[in-house]
Structure formats: C-alpha cells, structure tokens
A and B are shown apart, each in its own frame.
Chain A
Amino acid sequence: MKSINQLVSKKPWLGWVLFLGTMVVVFLMGLLASTIVERRAEAVFAYTPKVEFEEWEPRHEIWGKNFPREYESWLLTSDTTYASKHMGSVTIDVLEKDPRLVVLWAGYAFSLDYKQSRGHYYAIHDIYHTLRTGAPVDGEVSTQPNTCWTCKGPDVPRMMKELGGAKEFYSGTWETLGHQIVNPIGCADCHDAQNMNLIITRPALIEAYENMNMDILKVTHQDMRSLACAQCHVEYYFDKKKYEGVSYLTLPWHKGKTMEDMEAYYDEIGFTDWVHGISKAPMLKAQHPDYELFTKGVHYDRGLSCADCHIPFKNEGGVKYSSHHAVSPLKYAHQTCQVCHREDTEELIADVYERQDNVNESRMILEDLLVQAHVEAGFAWDNGATEVQMDKSLKLIRAAQWRWDFVAASHGSSFHAPLECLRILSQGIDKAHQARYELNTLLHSLGVAGKVVYPDISTKEKAQKYIGLDMNKLRADKQKFLDVVVPDWAKQAEARQSQWKVKNI
C-alpha cells in the first residue's frame, strides 16, 4: 500500500480535498464553540438603560431605547394581518358586514361609521379617519368634545398635567387639542417612568373607585395587570351636568359593575345618550364593557388578569419580558392558552369558536327583533300615536338595545363570559318581544289597518339612505380635514417634540 504522501503526489487534487476539508471542519468547530459561549452568556442579563427621560415622555421610541423587547413587540400592534373567525386585527367595516346596526344607531354618530378596532398602534390614525369625529376645517368645530382623546395615548396625561386637571382637559371641542395628542396608546399610559411600575393615569377609573368607596391604590399587582387596561376598556358616559359645558368622562359604576347595576344608575339619573332617529326611544349606547364582562367569566374567577393572555410573558434567550403585542390570544395560543391548558392548539381554538358562535347566534336573533321594533315604533308615530301611549314600548326598546349593545360592543366577551352574555341577550330578546307586543296592541287600538313596511337594509348604503344620511358630503368633508388639518397638527407636534431633551447615558 502506498503512503498518503505518495497518493497526494500522484493525484494533487486529493491534497486540496484534504486541505479544504480540514479547513471547513476547524471552522465549524470554532463556530460551534463560540455559539455555546454566546448562548451561555444569555442566561445572565443586566438592565442597562441607554437614555434618561422625563416622567411624561410620550414618545415610545424613546422608551424603546431602554426597553427594546417591549417596544419592538408593541410595534407589532401595527400588524393587521391576523383574522380570527369573528374578529382579529384586520380592519372590518362592521356596518358593511351587518347593515342592521345602521338602523339600530339611527340618529347617532355610530350609524355614520363603525369599524372593528385595530391595534394600539393605530389609535390616533383611526380617530382621525372615523367619520364620527367630524371634519373641523376652516374654523368649523367638531361635533365631539376633547374627552374623545382621553384613551388615545400618553399625550393625554401630559396635557392633563399641563392644563391643570381633568376638567380643563375635557373642556372644548375635539379639534382644539388635536395638535397635542399625536402619540398612540403605549408606554406612558400604563407605566411609571421612574420604576416601570404599573400606574393609573386616567382620572375616570380613580373616580369610579372612589364612587364605589374603594381605593385604587390598595389593589394587588395582579389587579393592576387588569386595571391598567380598565382605564379604557370599560363602559363610560359623558356627564354634562357636573360642570357647565364640560363632557366629563365618567364610569357608571356607582351601584356596581353589572349590566343591571349600570342600567339602574342611568335610569336613576335620567341619562340618555341620544334619541333614536326612527323610534324616538331614549337610547343608551353601551361602549366597550370589556373589563366588566371579563370579571364575570371563569378566567377572572381563577385569578387571571388581562395581561396574562393579552400581554403574555415571553422568554428570549433566558430574558423574560412581556410581549406588548396586545392582540387576540388565539394568534399565539402556544404562549397564552397552553401555559395552563395542555390540549392541542386546534382543540383550544375550536372551544373558543364554539362559545363565540353560540353567543353570536343569540345576538343575531335580538338584532333582528330590535330593527323590527324600531321600524314598528316609527310606524306607530306616523299613525298618530301619542307620547303617553308610546312611553312603555320605548322604554322596553331602550332596555332591550342596551342589553344587545352591552354584549355586541364589548370585545371578546363571548369568550370571556359566555354565560353572562347569553343571560343578558336572553333578557334582551324578552324585552324586545315585549316592546313589539306593546306596539302591536297600540296599533290595534289605534285601528291601524295598514301593514308595517320593513325597509331594505341589505347593504350599508341602503341602510344609511333609509335613515337619511348624506354620506358623500360627510366623506368629502373628512377628506378635506385629512388633507389640510392633520398634516398641520403633525408639523406642530414635530416642532414641539424636537425641543424636548433626552439625555444619553
């Protein structure tokens, strides 16, 4: 047998193979060794701040320099690709999907435009674009007060401090603070800049606790992980009696947080959000009672908070942090549901959909009944019914739609508390039937022979035409507002923010 040297001298390419092969092996071994060292270093982590900023700093990118993981996960709320069976973070034109809502909200701004809410990232963008805020151009004022900014971002606590209080902030129409509120919902809304503790920055929740004779400073950390969200994800109304000309943001929790408690409070103070355009019923608009309904569910009973599923803990190379990509937990079932549940992802998601489908089924029944009741009430007015005669049925319509809206307006409640939702909807169905019975009896006693004509509301356009809206004008005005006013607000904000100093460490 020849020696390897002889072989190589006979076939020189063999020498190259040996040379290159050895090189690759050594290289790979070096890589392997260095990754082992690097990965071991991940187990040790020290918080090293990069910048120092003021307590009221509203810009997320500044906080993000110190908290890159939290900031980057927050940025993911800009993603609009995830769609679950019923919701998700895609844009859904709810009125287009379900034109019956246009009739239910006739005479109220929600009949103009109502879209499924997207991620926190879009809070400011979407309030510019919704037709509900109107088009305050050329000296015109918005139909909404500054109170509508309250849940839109960390510029709000900053301005409340600058203006001297909540009352001053809530005064005036919506466009007057437009140039100040430019950063969407994020860091400073829930965190103390000194120590990153969770804090309540919105006075309405603090006052609601006072109204219930409770102290919001005496709650546990786990409570705070829900209450931080409850600053905004709750039912509220504008109290216009507290101060002259001020729409004072108030949570109706004086008697309690259930649907009945809040209704009793509204009835007692004689509150009405608007008078219905067709039935003339004194309506209530439920905003999003997400927190209230969550506390009626089994996950709350077992001690969970909003953040456990919506801002879940994640581990990245040995570093534990909270993913601030607040979104449907179904998107990340493996880091939300499965932290406790050992079942397969598909099985868990199917369970959620089953609850949502069932609640939705009952909601649709009530929705149909409400459209009919409103139209029939309008028909009774047309045939000479008097206010006294209508009183009972209109109150029933108010109660029935409040129940429908309480479930429909809350995000995720059909999963958070399906039993409570079905209980509320079944009451609503009963009240709607009672209202229709009263109206029928009334029509009969009035001797009305004709039949009620139900409108064609198969599309959003048809429904909006039926309730008498001129959508083209509204949209043109809005476009002008977006072209003229919004860029000016952005310019003012940039000039202001460029003055603020951030200290590099």
Chain B
Amino acid sequence: MKIVPRIKNLIQFFFPPQAWKVPVILMLGFFTGLFVFLFYISRAPSYLSDEPSTCVNCHIMTPQYATWSHSSHREWTNCNDCHVPQDNFFRHYWFKANDGLRHATIFALRKEPQVIFIHKAGKNVVQENCIRCHSELFFNDKMDRYTMSGHEYRREKRCVDCHREVPHGTVYGLSAVPEAKGVPLPQSPVPAWLNSIMNKNK
C-alpha cells in the first residue's frame, strides 16, 4: 500500500457522513471559539515573550516585580534573563515550560505559600546566569586567566548567598510591598468598545 492513499484513508476515517456536516461544523466552531477565549483570557501568547509584565499576570509575583523594577538590574535584565537558562534554545523553553506549568498548577490550586522560596533547579539557573553576565569577576587580569578560586565560587557557594538583597530586597512574602507603584497588573479583559456599549445601555 502506498503512503498517499493511506493518509487519505486516515482522513476519510474522521470525516462525518454528509448528513452530519453542518452540526459538526457548528460544534467545531463552538470548541474553537471556547479555546480562543481561553487563549485570550489567560494571556497565553504573552508567555512566549520575555516581558516582565507577564510574570505578574497572576498577582503572586508582584513583590518580585516591584523589587526588581526598583533595582539596578532593571536596566539590563528581565525576569527570564536570570530565572531561565540562556545557553540554548531547547533547554530555555523546556525549563520555562516546566516552571510555568508548575506555577500555574500551584496558583490554580491556591497552594501558594505566604513566602515563596526558589527551588533548587531555579537556584542553579540563577547562578549560571550571574556568571553569564559577571564572568569578568572570575577573571584575573594580571594572569590573563580565570582565577583558581573560580571553581569554588561557582560550585560551592552561590553569588546570592552573600549578595542576598540582589535584586529582590530583604523582606519577602506576598504582603511585602503593599505600596508598590507601577506594577503592571493585568487590566480588564473586556475591550473598551464593549465597555462603552454596555455603559450606554445602562
């Protein structure tokens, strides 16, 4: 059996009989519409970007956003620069998808703790990314070489063990920054034109 007719057969298998065509199209439309709505309301496309505002789509990360946006790191980094691996494309999206799904699950189940701790995998990534930008700190100019202590500092101690306040400050917890200004929490999903029509009818 040749490959093309085989595929044709397979498609044929899923096709409804003539009489069902209209209801099936309607049903498909229904599902597609629902799916698009879900896509829209959860701001799904934003998760592919590096926009820090994506990370406050749910309000849990507000303190992290606020502290970062008042730190010197704001000028050079976004959330993903430090919290997602940057060495290759596949690892980048694999890690991001994993972390994102874990966060989404915890948020949906309302299991978020009052104070968030970074996981071990996340810690390792942050350390990698500290070194990615600050590699000159491991470099001995006189010797024109990476320093001997580099190994120790890279593997046994993490940068943030001492630089604890970089960049999220000293006080942690979901309630840590009640007065934070300029955190781009998500706006209403209802478009303005719809809003104005609704208000006119009132």
Contact = CB atoms under 8 A, between A and B. Distances in A.
B158 to A, nearest CB: 12
Interface in A22-41: 22, 26, 29-30, 32-33, 35-37, 39-40
A39 B189 CA distance: 13
B164 interface: yes
A332 B35 CA distance: 41
Contact of B115 (A2, A33, A37, A339): A339
Contact of B34 (A3, A26, A335): A26
B186 A340 contact: no
A4 interface: yes
Interface string B150-188: 000000000000001000001111111010000001100
Contacts of A338: 115, 117, 172-173
Given A36-B41, A42-B59, A339-B115, A3 B173 contact: no
B37 A33 contact: yes
Contact of B114 (A2, A42, A43, A335): A335
B148 interface: no
A504 interface: no
A43 B184 CA distance: 12
A342 interface: yes
| Interface-centre pick from B15, B58, B115 (highest chain A CB count, 10 A) | B115
A3 B115 contact: no
A314 interface: yes
Looking at chain B's contact residues, the main secondary structure is loop
B9 interface: yes
B31 interface: yes
Given A1-B10, A36-B41, A313-B175, A29 B16 contact: no
Interface in B106-130: 107-108, 110, 113-115, 117
B193 interface: no
A224 B145 CA distance: 57
A2 B58 CA distance: 48
B42 A3 contact: no
A332 B9 CA distance: 63
Contacts of B149: none
A342 to B, nearest CB: 7
Contacts of B37: 33
B101 interface: no
Given A39-B58, A40-B189, A1 B9 contact: yes
Contacts of A455: none
B17 interface: yes
Contact of B13 (A4, A37, A39, A40): A4
Interface string B12-35: 111111001000000100110011
Contact of B16 (A4, A26, A317, A339): A4
Contacts, number: 83
A386 to B, nearest CB: 63
Contact of A29 (B14, B34, B172, B178): B34
A318 interface: yes
A5 interface: yes
A334 B115 contact: yes
A342 B171 CA distance: 10
Nearest to A322: B175
Given A5-B16, A342-B117, A33 B176 contact: no
Contacts of A176: none
Given A39-B107, A335-B173, A5 B114 contact: no
Contact of A339 (B12, B35, B58, B171): B171
Contacts of B41: 33, 36-37
A315 B174 contact: yes
B133 interface: no
Contacts of B164: 342
Nearest to A335: B114
B38 interface: yes
A1 B174 CA distance: 58
B178 A320 contact: yes
Contacts of B185: 43
A5 B20 contact: yes
A315 B175 contact: yes
A46 B30 CA distance: 36
B173 A315 contact: yes
Contacts of A3: 12-13, 15-17
Nearest to B172: A339
Contacts of A340: 170-172
Interface in A421-480: none
B34 A339 contact: no
Contacts of A4: 13-16
Contact of B176 (A1, A36, A43, A339): A339
B59 A33 contact: no
A29 B114 CA distance: 29
A335 B13 contact: no
A340 B168 CA distance: 12
Interface in A321-359: 332, 334-335, 338-340, 342
Contacts of B175: 313-315, 320
A32 B13 contact: no
A242 B30 CA distance: 83
Interface in B71-93: none
Nearest to B56: A43
A320 B15 CA distance: 54
B173 A313 contact: yes
Contacts of B172: 338-340, 342
Interface of B: 9-10, 12-17, 20, 27, 30-31, 34-35, 37-38, 41-42, 58-59, 107-108, 110, 113-115, 117, 164, 170-176, 178, 185-186, 189
Going nearest first, the 3 A-B pairs with the smallest beta carbon separation are A315-B174, A313-B175, A335-B114
Given A4-B13, A315-B173, 16 more contacts: A1-B9, A1-B13, A2-B13, A33-B34, A36-B38, A39-B107, A40-B186, A42-B59, A313-B175, A313-B178, A314-B114, A314-B174, A317-B110, A320-B175, A338-B172, A339-B171
10 contacts: A3-B16, A4-B14, A26-B30, A26-B34, A33-B37, A40-B186, A42-B59, A43-B186, A313-B173, A335-B115
Interface of A: 1-5, 22, 26, 29-30, 32-33, 35-37, 39-40, 42-43, 313-315, 317-318, 320, 332, 334-335, 338-340, 342
